[in-house]
Amino acid sequence: VDVVGTGGDGAHTFNISTCSMFVAAAAGAQVAKHGNRSVSSKTGSADVLEALGVTLSLPPQAVADCVGNTGIGFMFAPNHHPAMKNIAPVRKELGVRTIFNILGPLTNPADAPNILMGVFHPDLVGIQVRVMQRLGAQHAVVVYGKDNMDEISLGAATLVGELRNGEIREYEIHPEDFGMPMVASRNLRVSGPEESRRILLGVLGNEPGAARDIVLLNAGATLYAANVVESIADGIVKARAAIESGAARAKLDEFVAETQRQAAAQS
């Protein structure tokens, strides 16, 4: 399963989908995430992974080995889409959303058949899920938090476009559906990768609060998109167990060590 956001939502929250990736993998999903450095946010997935000690610059085969050995692979976009190298500095300079925010998530080099994708505009929910259908995805869950988040939100209802068994459904979900209190997304804001890293480690260490809740929601949806569970609610139960048991934190450490091992083998 690929877990990705278009970014550009302006929410400046900690790296929710990156944190969810470790929880989902610990709970039995195979995650091939592809991502980049921050363009319009305070911290992109690549930025926080680097702060955690992950080696980003791995060739495709090494990433595939990471997935095989740990259940997680991170494809750093510039390594897998060489043309994007030239675009990155321009995007950074513009600092605003561009067509690449929409295209990026559709180009997972691992061709993951299942995807949880966050988008930055409500109109993109219906559009992206239909694009995923055309691209041959099996189970796609596209989400937009109505408080302007490209994740499942704690601060508002979330619009969902879901492709499953060839059929598309569009519906709304609410934090209360899963027994979670509503919390404004501004409470999850960070100033940069270091702060995001601190919050991520807190969540994986089972610190209660809004950060853990939003990761449980999104990891639960990841497990659902990956067909590990039959519903988001079941996914949340599994995600909670992965955090409480320490498996999610262990998965992070295992992944960091594996990327460093792969990098050493390349040199």
**Both structure tokens of 99:** 């067509």
Who's near 89: CB < 8 A, 6+ residues apart? none
Instruction: Convert the pLDDT of each residue in 99-134 to its tens digit.
Output: 545 555 555 544 568 999 999 899 999 998 998 888
* 215 pLDDT above the threshold of 70: yes
149 versus 267: the higher-pLDDT residue is 149
- How far are the Cα atoms of 88, 198, 215 from residue 15, in angstroms, in the given order? 20, 11, 9
Helix count and strand count (H, E) for the chain: 11, 7
Q: Band of the pLDDT at 188, cuts 50, 70, 90?
A: very high
Residue type, 243: I
What integer pLDDT is reported at residue 89 of this predicted model? 56
Work out the number of other CB atoms within 10 angstroms of the CB of residue 195: 16
pLDDT of residue 45: 87
Answer yes or no: are the C-beta atoms of 72 and 251 closer than 8 Å: yes
Residue 232 has pLDDT above 80, yes or no: yes
Joined tokens for residue 88: 């990155």
Confidence band of 212 (pLDDT split at 50, 70, 90): very high
Which of 67-71, 97-101, 173-177 is least confident? Answer: 97-101
> What predicted TM-score, i.e. pTM, was given to this entire model?
0.89
Q: How confident is the model over 56-68, as a mean pLDDT?
A: 91
Euclidean distance between CA atoms 50 and 56, whole angstroms? 7
Query: CA-to-CA distance for 263 and 81, rounded, in angstroms?
Result: 19
- How many whole angstroms separate alpha carbon 161 and alpha carbon 192? 30
Q: If you average pLDDT over each of 84-93, 123-132, 201-210, which comes out highest? A: 201-210
**Whether residue 180 has pLDDT greater than 70:** yes
pLDDT (mean) for 53-76: 92
Q: How many residues are recorded in the chain?
A: 267
Q: Which of 113, 9, 82, 70 is nearest to 256 (CA)?
A: 70
| Rounded Cα–Cα distance for residues 66 and 82 (Å) | 21
| pLDDT for res 91 | 47
Whether 43 shows a pLDDT value over 80: the answer reads no
Please give the Cα distance from 118 to 150 (Å, whole number).
4
Which of the two residues, 248 and 94, has the higher pLDDT score? 248
186 class by beta-carbon count within 10 Å (0-12 exposed, 13-18 middle, 19+ buried): exposed
Q: Is the dihedral of CA 135, 146, 42, 185 positive or negative?
A: negative
- Domain annotation for the chain: domains and CATH numbers: 2-266 (3.40.1030.10)
**Nearest-angstrom CA–CA distance, 228 and 264:** 33
